[in-house]
Homo-oligomer: A and B are copies of this chain.
């Protein structure tokens, strides 16, 4: 399943938003989503499975519960794809990119010749 397919579902997007605030138990997530979308517990559980199996979330046991946390790797991939278009809404993005490339590790100043660098 492609990352964009995973994000195609509003329930899963909401789950990711919730997880982005921090680790949460399946039950808590289910409660929120049930209230907002009016779907059943198994439905939520299956969405969590999709998130898990596609690397968007990790789980760990805590006694009875399953604590979910967001894993951003696939989101980064999505972002990478999107970035190709970003220059269209952020004309100054070129500068941003340069900044990113340079900014990673500070130091050694100068280095204007970095401009030749391509992405990645």
Binding site for B on A (CB under 8 A): 2, 4-5, 7-8, 10, 13, 16-17, 20, 70, 72-73, 75-76, 78-79, 81-82, 84-86, 88-90, 92, 95-96, 99-100, 103-104, 106, 111
Q: 24 interchain pairs (CB within 8 A)?
A: A4-B4, A4-B7, A4-B8, A5-B8, A7-B7, A8-B8, A13-B81, A20-B84, A20-B85, A70-B85, A70-B88, A72-B88, A72-B89, A73-B89, A75-B82, A75-B85, A78-B82, A79-B79, A79-B82, A95-B104, A96-B96, A96-B100, A99-B99, A99-B104
Q: CA A90 – CA B103 in complex, angstroms?
A: 11
What is the predominant secondary structure among interface residues of chain A facing chain B?
A: helix
Q: How many Å lie between the Cα of A78 and that of B82 in the bound state?
A: 8
Query: Which residues on the B side are within 8 Å of A85 (C-beta)?
Result: 16, 20, 70, 72, 75
Across the interface, which residues of B come within 8 angstroms of A16, CB to CB? 85
**Complex Cα gap A92–B4 (Å):** 25
Q: How far is the CA of A96 from the CA of B96 in the complex (A)?
A: 8
